[in-house]
């Protein structure tokens, strides 16, 4: 379906009417409930594992069993938070579908930095250094720039500065000259500083620990740390950019602002649980080059390095960049069957075909729920009439928008990491 996982109607202007008034009232009531809960007990939203800290309350509900998909009834406004537990967590066949799909398209866009994983323990220090450097450079360039633009700059950069040591020894003028035309020049400065640190402190080899990468290496945030740790070192570390966030929010059926801290924390937690679950489930001979250290194998919760974390994270990025876009091609999606947003769209289509006019969350349709289990993340659901109107509008926009997107892309610079990878 062309509808976003976040409710598009929330951003559209409509003439005031009973429906909107009702939804505004619902928001106010929801806000009071959330504030009241915050005073009485610790909220389930707002904290997350990161930077070496133990996991805390953000997304605690994600450890519960998910609610099954329901094609016969819309999600009510007041719904169980378990509705948002990713079905992918336990659906190994759909996990396999995504990984298989990624292998089939991995080389399609001809990205020189995208390579098969090799266990770092089998590489020389020189090769280990170069692999980490390749991922660091590519991820830094991709932060604010489209892939097609990055390709030529990446090739030129690696020719001029083939190693971390060579970049560390370069002067600022050389670095800026090589970066000229790519924009956002502070990225070049930070990359230069990072190379000096890695050269002087780590013997040209990037550290594998994501917390250490964030703390010690200039320009490396949580996303880049996750990319280096998983893609280079095979560590089950999550990453979350705009593309991955869009995929996960649709998989989880989150009707909320994915840029808000509360939702971002939950998405990070979901990404973490997924990469760990997927990696642990595939610790066998199918991962070439995977060797399980006896000490690691004996530690509770430790997932030995393998090719899976990097493949999984890159698969999510690729899916969000090429299929699960703002106007998705759901028919081509390898994880369609576990997607709550897709199921909700199908439910709307069925309602439209049957001519239903009822609103969601009617008393006769709602199950009795514990107030503590009610989702406090999602925005109130629109009425069925509004949702169907949005659906028609989105389909029309998707059809006409596809012909305008190319022209628009030529006129407007990339605004974010999300757009830079589309």
Half-sphere exposure of 309 (CA within 13 A, CB side): 27
The CA angle 316-322-323, to the nearest 5 degrees, is: 80
Q: What gap in Å lies between CA 57 and CA 54, rounded to an integer?
A: 10
Q: How many residues does the chain have?
A: 422
DSSP assignments along 344-404, one per residue: HHHHHHHHHHHT--PPTT-TTTPPP--GGGB-SSSPPPPPHHHHHHHHHHHHHHHHHHHHH
Helix, strand, coil percent values for the chain (each to nearest 5): 60, 0, 40
The dihedral region occupied by 111, where left means phi > 0, alpha psi between -120 and 50, and beta the remainder, is beta
Told to judge if 139 belongs to the known catalytic residues of this protein, a careful annotator would answer yes
β partners of residue 80:
374
Q: What gap in Å lies between CA 337 and CA 137, rounded to an integer?
A: 36
Per the CB < 8 A criterion, the answer to whether 373 and 84 are in contact is: no
Among candidate residues 144, 142, 137, the one with its CA nearest the CA of residue 161:
137
Q: What gap in Å lies between CA 12 and CA 374, rounded to an integer?
A: 26
- Radius of gyration of the chain, Cα coordinates, nearest whole angstrom: 23
Residue entry with tokens 């690691």: 296
Annotated active-site residue in 139, 214, 344, 379: 139
Q: What gap in Å lies between CA 256 and CA 249, rounded to an integer?
A: 9
Kindly provide the b/e burial profile for residues 283-294, where b requires at least 16 CB atoms within 10 angstroms of the residue's own CB.
Answer: eeeebebbeeee
Please, is 75 exposed, middle or buried when counting C-beta atoms within 10 Å of its C-beta (0-12, 13-18, 19+)? Answer: buried
Kindly provide the b/e burial profile for residues 34-65, where b requires at least 16 CB atoms within 10 angstroms of the residue's own CB.
Answer: eeebeeeeebbbebbbbeeeeeeebbbbbeee
Token output for 361: 């969350």
Per the CB < 8 A criterion, the answer to whether 341 and 3 are in contact is: yes
Q: What gap in Å lies between CA 209 and CA 340, rounded to an integer?
A: 33
User: Which residues are known catalytic residues?
Assistant: 139
């Amino acid at each position: 379906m062309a509808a976003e996982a976040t409710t598009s109607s929330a951003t559209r202007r409509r003439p005031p009417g009973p429906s909107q008034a009702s939804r505004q009232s619902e928001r106010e009531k929801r806000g009071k409930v959330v504030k009241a809960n915050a005073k009485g007990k610790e909220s389930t939203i707002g904290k997350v594992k990161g930077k070496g800290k133990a996991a805390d309350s953000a997304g605690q509900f994600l450890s519960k069993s998910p609610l099954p998909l329901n094609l016969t009834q819309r999600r009510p406004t007041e719904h169980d938070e378990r509705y948002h537990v990713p079905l992918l967590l336990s659906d190994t066949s759909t996990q396999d579908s995504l990984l298989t799909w990624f292998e089939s398209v991995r080389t399609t866009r001809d990205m020189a930095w995208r390579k098969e994983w090799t266990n770092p323990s089998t590489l020389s220090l020189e090769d280990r250094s170069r692999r980490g450097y390749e991922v660091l450079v590519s991820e830094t360039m991709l932060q604010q720039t489209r892939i097609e633009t990055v390709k030529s700059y990446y090739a030129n950069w690696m020719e001029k500065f083939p190693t971390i040591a060579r970049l560390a020894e370069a002067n600022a003028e050389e670095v800026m000259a090589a970066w000229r035309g790519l924009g956002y020049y502070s990225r070049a400065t930070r990359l230069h500083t990072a190379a000096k640190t890695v050269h002087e402190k780590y013997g040209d080899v990037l550290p594998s620990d994501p917390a250490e990468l964030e703390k010690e290496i200039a320009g490396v945030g949580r996303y880049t740390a996750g990319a280096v740790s998983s893609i280079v070192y095979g560590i089950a570390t999550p990453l979350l950019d705009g593309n991955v966030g869009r995929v996960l929010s649709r998989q989880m059926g989150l009707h909320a602002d994915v840029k808000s801290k509360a939702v971002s924390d939950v998405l990070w937690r979901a990404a973490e649980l997924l990469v760990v679950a997927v990696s642990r489930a595939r610790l066998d001979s199918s991962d070439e080059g995977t060797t399980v250290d006896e000490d690691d194998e004996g530690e509770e919760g430790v997932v030995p390095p393998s090719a899976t974390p990097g493949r999984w994270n890159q698969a999510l990025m690729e899916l969000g960049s090429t299929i699960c876009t703002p106007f998705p091609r759901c028919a081509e999606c390898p994880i369609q069957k576990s997607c709550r947003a897709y199921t909700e769209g199908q439910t709307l289509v069925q309602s439209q075909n049957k001519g239903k006019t009822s609103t969601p969350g009617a008393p006769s349709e709602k199950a009795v729920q514990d107030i503590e289990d009610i989702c406090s993340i999602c925005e109130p659901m629109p009425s069925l009439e509004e949702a169907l109107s949005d659906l028609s509008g989105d389909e029309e926009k998707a059809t006409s928008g596809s012909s305008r997107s190319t022209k628009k892309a030529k006129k407007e610079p990339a605004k974010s990491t999300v757009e830079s990878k589309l």
